[in-house]
Chains A and B, each alone.
Chain A
Amino acid sequence: MTDSRPVLTMTGISKSFPGVRALHNVDFRLFPGEVHALMGENGAGKSTLIKVLTGVYGIDDGIITLGGEQVAFSGPMQAAAAGVSTVYQEVNLCPNLSVAENIFIGREPRRFGAVRWGEVRRRARQLLARLDLDIDVTAPVASYSLAVQQMIAIARAIDVQARVLILDEPTSSLDAGEVEQLFRIMRQLRDEGIAILFVTHFLDQVYGIADRITVLRNGTLVGEHPTAELPQLALVEKMIGKELDVLERIEEHPRRELAALEGGTPFVEVSDLSRKGAVAPFSLTIHAGEVVGLAGLLGSGRTEVARLLFGADRADRGQVAVGGKPTGLRTPVQAIDRGIGFCSENRRAEGIIADLSVRENMILAMQAARGWLRPIPRRRQDELVDKYIKALSIRPANPDVPVRNLSGGNQQKVLLARWLITEPRLLILDEPTRGIDIGAKAEIQKLVVQLSDGGMAVLFISAELEEVLRLSHKIAVMRDRELVAQLTNDDAVDADRVMQTIASGSQREEANQ
């Protein structure tokens, strides 16, 4: 396939947003009749590259050519008209309209201004037959599964004589069977000569379908490789990058032996908990004073595990026992009652309330646990807030400033304080150190060690392996929404070993079971 000339080239693409260099001198090529995976962690620049290509953003520097001619699209519509169609992660169809109409709306065949419904249906059937999809085109899209909707969106995309089809995380909410369906169609379109740009977090899928892989990291091009020449481990390394650990070393803290911790009754025992489309059934035990690290690539299901444990999402099946008693964690309030706290990874949207003061943000969870009819006396509030501002050295040390004025690291500490005030027995920290400066990172890591010494159980979720390795007694590895291994964090475990597990996952290690 590489003997032909590329249908699409992007050369020296740079794009900056205020304060962020999203893309820097990135090259990208796409050949007709190939499936090309674009890989990279969140924030690596994948979405920006697609948006730059389809004209959602302009470029600061660089050249895009389509079929040999230089192009600069004004938006997705113009791009689609030129043959570059995009199918987004969330299916963008109108659920109330019929399948046929969703495929053709905006370009329906008409006669004297009137839509020719017969013709619309006939052409829709034709198009879907080309995708080998036998469904009732008059039924509303809402009556079909997400997978089928995804394919309907593809049908809409390829109707406009697409030369390039961009699939932005199309598989994130599909199950294995549905993914296979999608792949079949992708292969077929590839064989018809369409160039497919495929973005996904799932490594298996990349190796299942992609011909070539381009890896981005921090807005720069890491490399373009034929899939066959890039083993999974090498790919993961390229995506994560082996950056030198500049963190201030936490002094070698004599970690208590896991065996000692496991002598007691486990605080949380999870067995076969799952939620369709989010996490495959997993079992996990967390003891008091234990730090369990949850490693895995972004999108591997780490946050989903946390949300299930906190009752933010409901499990389809499986049991959870807290303190030896079976409980159904259905709502966050129940989880808080049982002594579980959750610091969300999405600090801005799900954690901090920017307009409220530091004090108000801190007492929120405690107030919620008490019920709104029993306000916390002001003196008690002051006591608590002062204590944690000191303990976490939050700056500025003023409880009455709006949280929006604090730096990211300090916001994170306020969020931590919110949960520490409730004195949880299990604290779930989802990416607590992401996006904060190194000093604050080290402080938060120290705090985790202190908390665990004090007997609190911590579920520590982080994309940074070094961090997970440093803090955890036990490391649970997620891969493709499945808990694939639990490693006791002893001398035998290092970053390479964890990376290997993330990459291959096939050798299920039950080291501590």
Chain B
Amino acid sequence: MTMNSLTTVPTWARLPRRHVPVLATLALLLVMYGIGVSQYRAFSNIQVIFNVFIDNGFLLVVAVGMTFVILTGGIDLSVGSVVAMTAMVSAWLLQSGLPALLVLVIALLIGPTLGFLMGCAIHFFEIQPFIVTLAGMFFARGMCTFISGASIPITDGFWTTMSQYRIGDPRGNFVSVSVLVAFAVAAVAAYVLAYTRLGRNVYAIGGNPQSALLMGLPVGRTRIAVYTISGLCSAIGGILLSFYTLSGAPLIAVGMELDVIAAVVIGGTVLTGGSGYVFGTVLGVLVLGVIQTLITFDGSLNSWWTKIVIGGLLFAFILLQRLIGIRYK
């Protein structure tokens, strides 16, 4: 028997399999964009795409954090509430007269701290991530209304500058600061996942936590790290949202965690962990954004159609993952 005969899958068939979900998402995105362009003349305007990024920059940042968590096979339900809490705390502190920079630092610390604590609870007490982050979700949302039952406007100079600053070309197309931040976060995350031990440990734990432990990988540290990263991303997302809305509102971003999870899964990350890419998550967020844009362009469709379409897509993509057998467990 030659050693080659032990290879169970021929080389040509093996390589793309991990990439199939991402490629499917890319194809879907192109088809949807094609539909938009063929139906509505204004759709081909490049600003339409920029607007998708502008409207969903904060979503992308949060989705990147969620990608880390889902890659380990976990879930973080607290992200929407942490986004809201971060925006709320920022608005409240700015209202009380603290300097913008200090507010920024404080706001960016809250999310990762909560994430770190949730990660510790998950690791040390071996509690299901679902329950721990559900508790975190209620806690953060409760903190929002504790700070104020009503929306707090932001009038700070730094915030309004960030909100209105446009980075554009001479023809008038532009993106906001949040888009650049979102891309920077996505780029850093992609690098971390592909080239650092932390990132590779994330994939290993998602593949088989027991093996990861026996291979001597720091499973506990990595688990805590991903929830901290998710918390940090939620905090950044919260800041971007407050740039976008120039306010902190207690009931903003309700249910956002579900959109985020949908975006990550549509982007090809497997819910059981171990397989997925930040690039896929970017595509997943874009798919969500383009659906919204299409429905806005139509004008006659109820906005709830967005949810129906996302529901259908989510189901289709989970089915696809099952069919190509990318789940390893």
Chain A residues with a Cβ under 8 A of chain B: 76-77, 80, 88, 92-97, 101, 105-106, 108, 110, 113-115, 117, 132-136, 138-140, 142-145, 147-148, 156, 177, 181
Query: Cα distance A81–B15 when bound, in Å?
Result: 34
State whether A133 and B3 are in contact (beta carbons under 8 Å apart), knowing that A95-B208, A140-B18 are contacts in the complex.
yes
Identity of the chain B residue whose Cβ is nearest the Cβ of A76 in the assembled complex: B214
Chain A residues within an 8 Å CB radius of B206: 96
Contact of A135 among B6, B197, B200, B214 (CB under 8 A): B6
- Could you tell me if B207 and A94 are in contact, using CB atoms closer than 8 angstroms? yes
B202 smallest CB distance to A (angstroms): 11
Closest 5 CB pairs of A and B: A94-B207, A96-B207, A96-B274, A92-B211, A95-B328
B204 on interface, CB distance cutoff 8 Å: yes
Query: Cα distance A359–B196 when bound, in Å?
Result: 57
State whether A106 and B215 are in contact (beta carbons under 8 Å apart), knowing that A135-B6, A135-B7, A177-B1 are contacts in the complex.
yes
- Could you tell me if B195 and A156 are in contact, using CB atoms closer than 8 angstroms? no
Chain A residues within an 8 Å CB radius of B195: 113-115, 117
Query: Cα distance A147–B328 when bound, in Å?
Result: 17
Task: List 15 A-B pairs, Cβ < 8 Å.
Answer: A80-B216, A92-B211, A94-B203, A94-B212, A97-B204, A106-B215, A110-B197, A114-B196, A115-B195, A134-B3, A136-B11, A139-B11, A139-B15, A147-B6, A181-B6
Query: Cα distance A109–B235 when bound, in Å?
Result: 33
- Could you tell me if A148 and B6 are in contact, using CB atoms closer than 8 angstroms? yes
- Could you tell me if B197 and A108 are in contact, using CB atoms closer than 8 angstroms? yes
Query: Cα distance A115–B191 when bound, in Å?
Result: 10
- Could you tell me if B203 and A97 are in contact, using CB atoms closer than 8 angstroms? yes
Query: Cα distance A148–B4 when bound, in Å?
Result: 11
A159 smallest CB distance to B (angstroms): 12
B275 on interface, CB distance cutoff 8 Å: yes
Query: Cα distance A115–B197 when bound, in Å?
Result: 7
**Chain B 163-197 residues near chain A, CB threshold 8 A:** 191, 195-197
- Could you tell me if A95 and B207 are in contact, using CB atoms closer than 8 angstroms? yes
B321 smallest CB distance to A (angstroms): 12
B14 on interface, CB distance cutoff 8 Å: yes
Chain B residues within an 8 Å CB radius of A117: 195
State whether A156 and B215 are in contact (beta carbons under 8 Å apart), knowing that A105-B204, A144-B8, A147-B6 are contacts in the complex.
yes
Contact of B208 among A93, A139, A148 (CB under 8 A): A93
Task: Known A-B contacts: A93-B211, A177-B1. Give 12 more (CB < 8 A).
Answer: A95-B328, A108-B200, A113-B196, A114-B196, A115-B196, A117-B195, A132-B3, A135-B6, A136-B7, A140-B18, A142-B328, A156-B215
Query: Cα distance A93–B200 when bound, in Å?
Result: 13
Query: Cα distance A88–B213 when bound, in Å?
Result: 13
Chain B residues with a Cβ under 8 A of chain A: 1, 3-4, 6-9, 11, 14-15, 18, 191, 195-197, 200-201, 203-204, 206-208, 210-212, 214-217, 274-275, 328
Contact of B216 among A106, A134, A135, A139 (CB under 8 A): A106
- Could you tell me if A105 and B4 are in contact, using CB atoms closer than 8 angstroms? no
Query: Cα distance A378–B18 when bound, in Å?
Result: 56
A76 smallest CB distance to B (angstroms): 7
Identity of the chain A residue whose Cβ is nearest the Cβ of B205 in the assembled complex: A94
Identity of the chain B residue whose Cβ is nearest the Cβ of A110 in the assembled complex: B197
State whether A97 and B3 are in contact (beta carbons under 8 Å apart), knowing that A105-B215, A108-B200 are contacts in the complex.
no
B30 smallest CB distance to A (angstroms): 27
Identity of the chain B residue whose Cβ is nearest the Cβ of A142 in the assembled complex: B328
- Could you tell me if B328 and A96 are in contact, using CB atoms closer than 8 angstroms? yes
Chain A residues within an 8 Å CB radius of B6: 135, 144-145, 147-148, 181
Chain B residues within an 8 Å CB radius of A95: 207-208, 274, 328
B270 smallest CB distance to A (angstroms): 9
- Could you tell me if B196 and A94 are in contact, using CB atoms closer than 8 angstroms? no
- Could you tell me if B211 and A94 are in contact, using CB atoms closer than 8 angstroms? yes
Contact of A143 among B1, B3, B14, B211 (CB under 8 A): B14
Contact of B210 among A92, A97, A140, A142 (CB under 8 A): A92
B3 smallest CB distance to A (angstroms): 5
Identity of the chain A residue whose Cβ is nearest the Cβ of B213 in the assembled complex: A92
Identity of the chain B residue whose Cβ is nearest the Cβ of A141 in the assembled complex: B207
B190 smallest CB distance to A (angstroms): 13
Query: Cα distance A135–B7 when bound, in Å?
Result: 7
Chain B residues within an 8 Å CB radius of A106: 197, 201, 215-217
Query: Cα distance A181–B6 when bound, in Å?
Result: 10
Contact of A105 among B1, B15, B200 (CB under 8 A): B200
State whether A101 and B196 are in contact (beta carbons under 8 Å apart), knowing that A93-B211, A134-B3, A148-B6 are contacts in the complex.
no
B39 smallest CB distance to A (angstroms): 40
- Could you tell me if A143 and B8 are in contact, using CB atoms closer than 8 angstroms? yes
State whether A77 and B8 are in contact (beta carbons under 8 Å apart), knowing that A101-B200, A115-B195, A133-B3 are contacts in the complex.
no
Chain B residues within an 8 Å CB radius of A148: 6
Chain B residues within an 8 Å CB radius of A114: 191, 195-196
Chain B residues within an 8 Å CB radius of A76: 214, 216
